[in-house]
Amino acid sequence: MTTYHGGCLCGAVRFSVEVSKAEIDACHCSMCRRWGGGPSLNVQADGPPRFEDEAALGVYRSSQWGERVFCKTCGSSVLWRSADGSFHAVPAAIIGDPEGMALALEIFIDDKPAYYDFAGERKRMTGPEVMAAFGVDTGS
Using CA atoms, how far apart are residues 48 and 83, in angstroms rounded to an integer? 12
Parallel, antiparallel, or unpaired: how do β-strands 102-107 and 23-27 relate? parallel
Q: Which of 10, 83, 132, 133 binds Zn ion (CB under 5 A)?
A: 10
Q: Binding of Zn ion at residue 131 (CB under 5 A)? A: no
Q: Which stretch binds Zn ion (CB under 5 A): 2-10, 16-24, 47-55, 120-128?
A: 2-10
Contact between 109 and Zn ion (CB under 5 A)?
no
Minimal distance, residue 120 CB to Zn ion, in Å: 20
**Stretch near Zn ion under the rule CB under 5 A, chosen from 5-13, 14-22, 89-97, 131-139:** 5-13
If the CB atoms of residues 24 and 29 are measured against Zn ion, the closer one turns out to be 29
CA Rg, the chain, in Å?
15
Stretch that binds Zn ion, among 32-40, 47-55, 81-89, 132-140 (CB under 5 A): 32-40
How many C-beta atoms lie closer than 10 Å to residue 21's C-beta? Answer: 13
DSSP-based three-state secondary structure for 60? strand
Instruction: Kindly state the number of chain residues that form the binding site for Zn ion, as judged by CB under 5 A.
Output: 9
CA distance 18 to 5: 9
| 133 lies in the binding site for Zn ion (CB under 5 A) | no
Question: Which amino acid type is present at position 19?
Answer: V
3-state secondary structure of 13: coil
Separation between Cα atoms, residue 11 and residue 137, nearest integer Å: 37
* Residues 45-104 close enough to bind Zn ion by CB under 5 A: 71, 73-74
**In the complex, which residues of this chain contact Zn ion (CB under 5 A)?**
8, 10, 12, 27, 29, 32, 71, 73-74
